[in-house]
Amino acid sequence: MDSITWQQSAPPQKAVLITVLLMANHAPQAWRWQGQNFTAQPGQFITSIPKLVKNAGVSEKNVRTALKNLVAMKFITEQTTKHGRLITVVNW
């Protein structure tokens, strides 16, 4: 609650922040998809904007703004891949 990331986030952005923390893997996770092996490390997960919209219960604009702000605050990194969006929580 004392985090500057939390304090400077608007309510919709806080919903996205909580959703990101809930979706992040807490242990390495491996899976096979379309003939390829994937591994997500702790703090990482693959998602999409529509999935974040659904899970956070906010608009697409709110999700995009929240992700942009979380990257700027160095709370997360994100990388778009052909399989989805890889989000890594770097500041637990």
Q: Any idea what DSSP says for residue 84? A: E
Give percent of the chain with pLDDT exceeding 90: 73
Q: What is the pLDDT of residues 34-59, one digit of tens each?
A: 788 889 999 999 999 999 999 999 99
Domain of 37, in residue numbers: 4-89
pLDDT (mean) for 7-27: 95
**Segment 57-89, tens digit of pLDDT:** 999 999 999 999 999 999 999 998 777 899 999
Q: What is the dihedral of CA 79, 82, 85, 88, to 10 degrees?
A: -50
Which tokens in the block code for residue 47? 């998602």
> Which string of DSSP letters, residue by residue, matches 26-76?
SS-EEEEETTEEEEE-TTEEEE-HHHHHHHHTS-HHHHHHHHHHHHHTTSE
How many domains are contained in the chain? 1
Which CATH number does the domain housing residue 37 bear?
1.10.10.10
